[in-house]
Amino acid sequence: RMPRHVQQLRDHDLNPCVAETDASRKCMDDNNYNKDMCTAYFLKYKSCRKFWHDIMMQRRRNGVKPEMPSAEERKKMLESMG
């Protein structure tokens, strides 16, 4: 059984950037932990975190619950943006 914080990191409803996390980790594994080879993956992850953090803060300000949209809701939001 995984520790609770690890489960939360793997939960697509709580962590909108699971795919970016996995891609970064895979890149590091594939490139013998040479960070220079994975810069693009790190930037994607950072952009993902910033984007959803900004949405979460906006929802918090507006009193919207839950503060982090569910995976399904996020998918619809992204589709509506094109």
| pLDDT, tens digit, 9 for 90 and up, residues 20-54 | 999 999 999 999 999 999 999 999 999 999 999 99
Instruction: Write the burial class of residue 38 (CB in 10 Å: 0-12 exposed, 13-18 middle, 19+ buried).
Output: buried
pLDDT number for residue 21: 95
pLDDT of residue 53: 96
- Determine if the peptide bond prior to 66 is cis (ω within 30°): yes
Per-residue confidence band for 14, with pLDDT thresholds at 50, 70 and 90: confident
Domain boundaries, the chain: 4-80
Give the separation between CA 43 and CA 40, rounded to whole angstroms.
Answer: 5
Q: Evaluate if residue 8 carries a pLDDT over 80.
A: no
Q: What is the mean pLDDT of the chain?
A: 93
Residues 79 and 73: their CA atoms lie apart, in Å, by 10
How long a stretch of residues is the chain? 82
The pLDDT score that the predictor gives to residue 5 is 77
